[in-house]
Amino acid sequence: MNMDTRLDCMETMEVKGKNVDYKVTNVGPVIGGEGFLFVSENTTFLLDNGFAFCAEQMVENIRKVLGDRKLDYILLTHSHYDHLSGTPYITRAYPDVKVVANDHTANVIVRDGAKKVMRRMNEAARETYDGNEYEDLTDMLRVDIVVKDDDVVDLGDFRFKVCGFPGHTKCSIGFYSEEERLLLSCETLGVYIGDDKLASQYLVGYQMSIDSIDRALALDIDRMLIPHTGLAEGERCKSLLRSSKDLAIEGAKEIVYGHREGRSDEELLAILKEKYYTSYVRSLQPEAAFDLNAGYMISMLVNELADDPNF
């Protein structure tokens, strides 16, 4: 395993679990559109699935890994288009697959307004990546098993408890297997930014993100699937989560104190960029995409914390 923990497209990691052995492969055809395919003796499932324009390529990648086997489940961590737009292409290829998501995600994907946004974002992604024309299947998005926090989903070889980890979005969830001490994480808990650090992608709430990271830190974790990244193991899981919490607190202080000192939005953006837009992230994420998210972070932090006398 490389120290970056990142699984590039079609890279596989083999895991000897506590009760079950499995392989994890990143079947995402492009950077930013990752999907992680888990294969064990009796169970196959995909965690998140990226953009629409390259979804057929993802289906091919899944077929390459699974051969004649079926895909049993798709698990979705939240309702953002870059995590679920591949779903209808995969459900068309594997009609028996069951899509698992929480109620918020299930409600969002059937709303006309949300579909419009997803179509627009997917088209923008295609342009950014210079991708090919593609069939629009947004209307075929579906969720088959709607879950809520603390539900247990039994996938056969894996039993996952649904953990609400709001902060990136209100609907962000992770999946935790107590038997395997395996956490399928989400962007609230952080994405890898190099130098053995995670950065929480907190967009909708500061305190709720810190609380979510604390909830994850309280779990027994031997392995953690990090969104857009790959699988971390051992002690490193907790140290990565702690780095995410530390960085979230530091970032919030710098932004909020900077705002109080009268720094402009551009100056605040520069502060975040210095912290989070590392050379590692720079190699993976276009600057415009970073700036867009950073803008949301800044207004969230200022709105929530600027007038808080205790912060």
Rounded-to-integer distance, Cα 274 and Cα 62, Å: 37
Rounded-to-integer distance, Cα 167 and Cα 151, Å: 20
Q: Is 295 exposed, middle or buried (0-12, 13-18, 19+ CB in 10 A)?
A: middle
Rounded-to-integer distance, Cα 227 and Cα 187, Å: 6
- Closest CB to Zn ion among residues 80, 245: 80
Tokens of 308: 């808080």
Residues between 80 and 139 with contacts to Zn ion, criterion CB under 5 A: 80
Indicate the residue whose CB is closest to Zn ion: 80
End-to-end CA distance of the chain: 40
Closest approach, Cβ 292 to Zn ion, in A, equals 12
- Closest CB to Zn ion among residues 34, 157: 34
Contact range with Zn ion by CB under 5 A, out of 7-15, 106-114, 184-192, 293-301: 184-192
Contact range with Zn ion by CB under 5 A, out of 29-37, 183-191, 211-219, 272-280: 183-191
Contact range with Zn ion by CB under 5 A, out of 34-42, 55-63, 77-85, 90-98: 77-85
Contacts with 170 (C-beta within 8 Å, 6 or more apart), sequence order: 104, 204, 205
- Closest CB to Zn ion among residues 56, 187: 187
Q: Which strand (E) or helix (H) includes residue 254?
A: helix 235-260
DSSP string, 109-127: TT-HHHHHHHHHHHHHHHH
- Closest CB to Zn ion among residues 158, 165: 165
- Closest CB to Zn ion among residues 180, 187: 187
Contact range with Zn ion by CB under 5 A, out of 76-84, 86-94, 101-109, 215-223: 76-84
Binding mask 34-73 for Zn ion (x = CB under 5 A): ----------------------------------------
Sign of torsion over alpha carbons 72, 78, 79, 84:
negative
Closest approach, Cβ 201 to Zn ion, in A, equals 6
Query: Closest by alpha carbon to 105, among 80, 87, 73, 88?
Result: 80
Residues between 253 and 272 with contacts to Zn ion, criterion CB under 5 A: none
Binding mask 139-178 for Zn ion (x = CB under 5 A): ----------------------------------------
Q: CA 89, 95, 100, 102: dihedral to nearest 10 degrees?
A: 70
Neighbouring C-beta atoms of residue 310, cutoff 10 Å: 4
- Closest CB to Zn ion among residues 117, 152: 117
Closest approach, Cβ 78 to Zn ion, in A, equals 6
- Closest CB to Zn ion among residues 83, 98: 83
List residues binding Zn ion (CB under 5 A).
80, 187
